[in-house]
Amino acid sequence: MMPAARSDQYHRVKNRMFFSGLFLDFAFLMIFFFAGWSLTVRNWTFVISSNFWIANGLYVFLFSSLLYLLHLPLNFFLGYIWEHKFQLSNQNFFQWWTDDLKQSALGLVMVVVLVEVVYFFLRHFPSGWWICAWIFWVFMAVIMAKITPNVIIPIFYKYVPINNASLKDRIFDMFKKCKVFLQDVYMIDMSQKTKKANAFVCGIGRTRRVVLGDTLVNQYTVDEIEAVVAHELGHYVHRDIFKLLIVNGIVIFVGFYLIALFLNYSVGAFHLRGIDDIAFLPMITVAFVVFSLATAIPLNAFSRYLEKQADLFCLTMTQKPADFISLMKKLGEMNLAKENPSLMEKLFFYDHPPLKERIAVGEKFKVTK
């Protein structure tokens, strides 16, 4: 099969599975609520414990576990079978499932914390809960960015030393030139899980670090790796993390406000105990999913704009368009990126410019020094 055909097939099925997952979510959530199952689970948890917070936490655990089981066949197909079919995964089933359980457990902890805090606001500040919830969301976003390097990444990957001193020096020189603090450069053992390559900058303030996948370090030239890091550095120079936080913060603010209106209407319409009735959580989830779909296109467009600016920053800083183009082509081949997706695919699924557009930026760039 030709590379373009392989990529098309790989992404076509993944996109179909995405919409299949959405359909499953909507069907399950609507049935779970309107069939009375949510009320039954809520009543059962309050029989186990009369404590509002313990009962709510137990409800969230059971509700999330059902969603996990619902998605497990799709996750297994996409994350294990499909990745192996295209020779992209290096994991056996036990390794894959261990990572899946880790990810789900981490997500469950975050969901329980979020729900408990939001329902605290619903219970004690019924008129302004959505503003409090929004402030907490911003706080959590900052905390997650802060702890990702030292807490989240080690759950899934092992940091290993980089022996290429020249590469580290060039990366530190780039950050120093742009006056951006960098704690260190690290490598993670991506090859234990996948044949794909990746690199990123994570952390804020004193925890900021460059993280390179060993698949990238071992199979790409120093100039190509420099281009990857320069792109990521561009996000910090342009303050894109702050811009995304502001834009997403505005979107979430509107989302919480609309949920508040929805809740106020639903108390009477669905005979809830109050706006803090945990039994209505499935319908709140439906509302958030619908809102996320409605905002996906403009948010993706804004992200693609920032990514294009970071590509231009990379080219301006390195003055090596040939290495940038080589990098894009190798990443595209290695990660089975689709070179020229349809307009609808681009709008809904791409928060980065498609490969063809990124290569065109490199081809049009004029070296100035």
pLDDT, residue 161, reads 84
DSSP 197-260: --EEEE-SGGG-EEEEEHHHHHHS-HHHHHHHHHHHHHHHHTTHHHHHHHHHHHHHHHHHHHHH
- Which letter does DSSP use for residue 100 in this model? H
Tokens of 27: 């069907």
Rounded (to 5) percent helix, strand, coil in the chain: 75, 5, 20
Per-residue model confidence (pLDDT) at position 3: 66
Q: Alpha carbon of 348 to those of 4, 18, 243, 297, 299: distances in Å?
A: 20, 11, 21, 6, 10
130 close to 260: Cβ distance less than 8 angstroms:
yes
Distance of CA 322 to the CA centre of its chain: 30
pLDDT score recorded for residue 282: 96
* pLDDT mean over 16-41: 94
Distance in angstroms (rounded) separating the CA atoms of residues 257 and 264: 11
Name the amino acid, one letter, at 19: F
Domains of the chain and CATH, by start:
3-159+236-364 (no CATH), 160-230 (3.30.2010.10)
Residue 138 · residue 245 · CB < 8 Å: yes
List, for residues 93-148, the tens digit of each pLDDT value: 999 999 999 999 999 999 999 999 999 999 999 999 999 999 999 999 989 988 88
Segment 30-86, tens digit of pLDDT: 999 999 999 999 999 999 999 999 999 999 999 999 999 999 999 999 999 999 999
pTM above 0.85, yes or no: yes
**289 close to 26: Cβ distance less than 8 angstroms:** yes
Helix axes 93-124, 52-76, angle to 10 degrees: 150
Give me the chain's average pLDDT, please.
93
| Burial of 13 (C-beta count, 10 Å sphere; 0-12/13-18/19+) | middle
* C-alpha distances out from residue 310 to 5, 150, 204, 241, 314, Å: 29, 26, 18, 12, 6
Which single residue is written with the structure tokens 């502001």? 246
- Residue 1's pLDDT band (cuts 50, 70, 90): very low
CA triplet 354, 170, 143: central angle to 5 degrees? Answer: 65
- Give the model's pLDDT for residue 339: 86
- Which of helix, strand or coil describes residue 89? strand
| The pLDDT of residue 5 | 83
Q: What is the pLDDT of residues 233-288, one digit of tens each?
A: 999 999 998 999 999 999 999 999 999 999 999 988 888 889 999 999 999 999 99
C-alpha atoms less than 13 angstroms from C-alpha of 93 in its C-beta half-sphere = 3
Residue 41: phi and psi, rounded to 5, are: -65, -45
The CA distance from 336 to 318, in Å, is: 26
Whole-number CA gyration radius for the chain: 23
Model pLDDT, residue 204: 82
> Mind giving me the DSSP string for 152-187?
IHHHH--EE----HHHHHHHHHHHHHTT----EEEE
